[in-house]
Amino acid sequence: MAVLETIASPADLRRLSPAQLDQLAAEIRTFLVQSVSRTGGHLGPNLGVVELTIAMHRVFASPTDSFVFDTGHQSYVHKLLTGRQNFGDLRRREGLSGYPSRAESVHDIVENSHASTALSWADGIAKANVVRGLHDRHVVAVMGDGALTGGMAWEALNNIADGHDRRLVLVVNDNGRSYAPTIGGMAHHLDTLRTTQGYESMLSWGRRTLRRSGPPGRVAYDALHGLKKGIKDVVAPQGMFEDLGIKYIGPVDGHDVGAVERALTSAKTFGAPVLVHVITEKGRGYSPAEQDVADRFHAVGQIHPETGLPVAPSRFGWTKVFADEIVSIGHARPDVVAITAAMLAPVGLAPFEKAFPTRTFDVGIAEQHAATSAAGMAFAGLHPVVALYATFLNRAFDQVLMDVALHRAGVTFVLDRAGITGDDGASHNGMWDMAMLRIVPGLHLAAPRDEATLRAALRTAVDVDDAPSVVRYPKGSVGDAIPALDSTDGVDVIGRETHDVPAGADSPRKVLVVGIGSMATTALEVSSILAAHGLDTTVASPTWVLPMPSMLVKMAGEHDLVVTLEDGLAEGGIGALLGERAGQAGVRVPVHTVGLPSAFLDHATRDQIVVANRLTAPDVARDVLDLLAR
């Protein structure tokens, strides 16, 4: 019988022999490759933490002891060991989440998949345990070395170091990578720890040498003390953590269950904050991932498990358009530089980095620093382009507002995966950006509808030198081109349906349908349905929606009803802003806003989310007809 099939809870792990543990690790890797290749998901990170997760559950008693994963995409093994082995619908509606989920298990705590937060969570839980007198409970935070590039992690470390009565174990899962090789001073520090041999053997050599040199005395003591300090500074730079007041254990082979267990047991008995430095290999045990140098297996779609190749090649995507256009802009504009937050390839900056390596800056998982550093670059004469997933700009709102906008800095933010992303769940839907950014004074925001408008928007954005500019686009492939029938003052008309009116008959009511960004196609479909019901319709698609185009307000006043469609929040979004601007201009026209609710959306496909929130063309048209009937 397979060992994995006998594991219903973490307690079952404690009866296994070393040989059975090795067999379990191999079975888990086979299970992950076979399952994730069918559903898609985060494969590489989970293959790397198999033995580490087994050891954690053997040493600590979850859920009494709290496990916090940073980020949660490395929690698949944790799910398997806590009774969740049905991966058939992973990341699909009503199936397992791709991240920890409180709805799934008492063993899960933090659902947010934004990085560098686990230490703050762990600090808070550990403080609460002390206040409540729960001195037998431990908190274990597992974070990748990439997460240590985030400033929030260091804010937490500063506080954790002061908590000598807190039973807190910080596991640094060091594989030298996040989405890509980890960068910065922290990475170099961990590299040194990873490659040095420890200083105790050198210290023993020093003691033997001093003993042979004569009787001990003050000179010999001073020499030994100096030797110890010098050796430690050179070959044991863990002193950085210990100088903070955090005991350091490691480096430990993260693929040796016994070694990890011994390190965690030592940390558990210490009774104060301990950092356990574990060395792992991303993609361990799966040949295509082990040989990968581009981190293609960090997250995968459906793949052939034998080769790791995609089942179906992806269509030309929005990210690829950006990647191509920003290189062209870079050739024409030597002042344009690119900034990424540990996601060079996912956001499409790898070609720019290849063409302009000295003009590309990976700041690590540090969106706040990226934004303010960009403001500094703008002050010094450059035009920075900061490329992020839309969901991660949330983390840097204060910097966009107070460092970029307040100082009228010419910085362009390019937001990949804006709108509905679906299967990664609530924390990854890029649905907050337009409602959030519309309150930033002077900010320009573009929501292109196709390849041509994206390329044009990027070129316009980098010409804005006295305010932040934003270009957002969705996840996935680019649809067909949507040409403009005509364009006036920045507002494209992409569709028009009119009816001949017999003499003496009433004119049809006129509806303006505004399709924002990727919703332009849906807007055209809505227009066709409404026209079939006898309405005259105009479909507008403004690429630049912030500041609100005055022409769009004027067009609104020429119709009996305005319908706006956006893949962001309806409440406080662009449609709501159009209604406000129309009212301020004395334009008395009802504005029906269609968008996403102010709610966290469960993981599902994009189409399922669209249907569930009545964003399909038939649903929108039906609601409009009902509204007109009333």
Residues that constitute the known binding site for thiamine diphosphate: 73, 113-115, 146-147, 175, 286, 367
**What is the distance between the alpha carbons of residues 141 and 119, in angstroms, rounded to a whole number?**
6
- CB crowding 157-195: b at 16 or more within 10 Å, else e: bebbbebeebbbbbbbbbbbbbbbebbbebbebbeebee
d(CA 65, CA 104): 18
Please give the full DSSP string across 305-365, using - where no structure is assigned.
Answer: TTT--BSSPPPPBHHHHHHHHHHHHHHH-TTEEEEESS-TTTTT-HHHHHH-GGGEEE--S
Active-site residue 282, yes or no? yes
Binding residues: 73, 113-115, 145-147, 175, 286, 367
Question: Angle between the 617-629 and 520-532 helix axes, to the nearest 10 degrees?
Answer: 50
Q: Are 407 and 379 in contact (CB under 8 A)?
A: yes
Strand, helix or coil at 537? strand
Q: CA 129, CA 404: separation in Å to the nearest integer?
A: 40
Kindly report the backbone phi and psi dihedral angles of residue 209, in degrees, each rounded to the nearest multiple of 5, phi listed first. Answer: -65, -45
DSSP 405-434: ITTT---EEEEETBB---TT-TTT-B-SHH
Catalytic residue status for 395: yes
- Distance (Å, rounded) from C-alpha 224 to C-alpha 211? 10
Cα 347 to Cα 463: distance, rounded to the nearest angstrom: 21
Question: Choosing from 367, 451, 497, 525, which is the catalytic residue?
Answer: 367
300 contacts 41 by C-beta, under 8 angstroms? yes
Surface-to-core class of residue 111, CB atoms within 10 Å of its CB (0-12 exposed, 13-18 middle, 19+ buried): middle
> Could you tell me the end-to-end alpha-carbon distance of the chain, in angstroms, rounded to an integer?
66
| Token pair belonging to 335 | 């002042």
Does the N-terminal peptide bond of residue 71 adopt cis geometry, omega within 30 degrees of 0? yes
Residue from 395, 438, 472, 581 carrying the catalytic annotation = 395
DSSP annotation of 573: S
**Angle between helix 50-59 and 257-270 (nearest 10):** 40
Give the residues across from 495 on adjacent strands. 539
**What is the rounded CA–CA span in Å between residue 339 and residue 371?**
9
Spatial distance between the Cα atoms of 37 and 467, rounded to a whole number of angstroms: 44
173 backbone dihedrals φ, ψ, rounded to 5°: -85, 95
Say whether 92 is catalytic: no
- Residue tagged active-site, from 58, 84, 167, 282: 282
C-alpha–C-alpha distance, residues 307 and 286, integer Å: 10
Residues composing the chain: 630
Q: Which positions are annotated as active-site residues?
A: 282, 367, 395
